[in-house]
């Protein structure tokens, strides 16, 4: 499946399996980061389907863990697990809850709930790989609301100091968080570029839902010679690809009714 088709299919599955779960899901943030995940998993990430088979591989950490439904959809479409397993999403005794639980056999690298923890974990993995003389990559997705957490900047400084050139962070700059507009909660926005520069990161600023720009930025990371950690600051649309969800923070976390599902399932 080419990447454009993967994006379309994974988007439909976010809606489908979210609705069929019968519960509420974090649709907005799952959809805003989806294009990045699809390009990454379809074209750049090097790892087996069962992560427990080897540590000599690339790593992906979802730091904004509440958007796990987006990750599950990509893992399903890349055959890390089957449909029967995906159908357990949010059901009793499932492993697929609203935030990821580490399950290496199913492609889930880390448990994540508390914001900011994922990027800290990513820096630790990246540093360990370099110390072992391995050139495997570590990729991490963080949200702009998440970047209000002080622990994020501790990790950024650590990564710069130790020249973690194998670390790539995608900042999902969709402009919203649980409590509303990120601008209203804590206005950082385009200042992120200056912040990362001042800490010592290599920066690529892109339209984060543009497949070609994502591909180009990941290629730059994989070919870079600078001994710096790399951040892709992606301006994204929350709820991207579902018109009624786009830039509508009611869909940060919400439940899809049957009538609403009938309206949007053919997107």
Closest CA to 240 of 149, 194, 172, 164: 172
pLDDT at residue 187, rounded to an integer: 81
Note whether 236 and 200 are within 8 A (CB).
no
pTM of the model: 0.96
Per-residue model confidence as pLDDT tens digits over 30-48: 999 999 999 999 999 999 9
Mean pLDDT over each residue of the chain, to the nearest integer? 94
Provide the pLDDT confidence category of residue 265 given band limits of 50, 70 and 90.
confident
Closest CA to 30 of 45, 16, 11: 11
**184 has pLDDT over 80:** no
In the chain the domains, ranked by start, together with CATH numbers, are: 3-264 (3.40.50.970)
pLDDT at residue 158, rounded to an integer: 97
**182 has pLDDT over 90:** no
Distance of CA 129 to the CA centre of its chain: 21
| Weakest mean pLDDT among 181-185, 188-192, 197-201 | 181-185
């Amino acid at each position: 499946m080419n990447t454009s088709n993967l994006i379309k299919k994974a988007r439909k599955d976010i809606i489908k399996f979210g609705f069929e779960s019968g519960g509420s899901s974090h649709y907005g943030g799952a959809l805003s980061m989806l294009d990045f995940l699809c390009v990454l998993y379809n074209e750049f990430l090097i790892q087996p389907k069962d992560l427990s088979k080897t540590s000599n591989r690339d790593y992906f950490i979802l730091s904004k863990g509440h958007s796990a439904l987006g990750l599950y959809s990509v893992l399903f479409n890349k055959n890390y697990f089957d449909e029967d397993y995906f159908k357990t999403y949010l059901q009793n005794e499932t492993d697929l809850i609203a935030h990821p639980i580490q399950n290496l056999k199913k492609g889930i690298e880390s448990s994540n709930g508390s914001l900011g923890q994922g990027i800290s974990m990513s820096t630790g993995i990246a540093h360990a790989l370099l110390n072992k003389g391995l050139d495997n990559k570590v990729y991490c997705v963080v949200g702009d609301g998440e970047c209000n957490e002080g622990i994020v900047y501790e990790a950024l400084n650590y990564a710069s100091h130790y020249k973690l050139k194998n670390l790539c962070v995608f900042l999902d700059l969709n402009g919203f968080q649980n409590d509303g507009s990120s601008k209203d909660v804590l206005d950082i926005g385009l200042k992120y570029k200056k912040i990362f520069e001042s800490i010592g990161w290599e920066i690529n600023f892109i339209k984060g839902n543009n497949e070609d720009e994502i591909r180009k930025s990941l290629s730059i990371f994989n070919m870079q010679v600078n001994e710096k950690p790399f951040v892709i600051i992606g301006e994204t649309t929350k709820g991207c690809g579902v018109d009624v969800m786009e830039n509508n923070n009611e869909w940060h976390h919400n439940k899809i009714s049957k009538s609403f599902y009938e309206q949007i399932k053919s997107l």
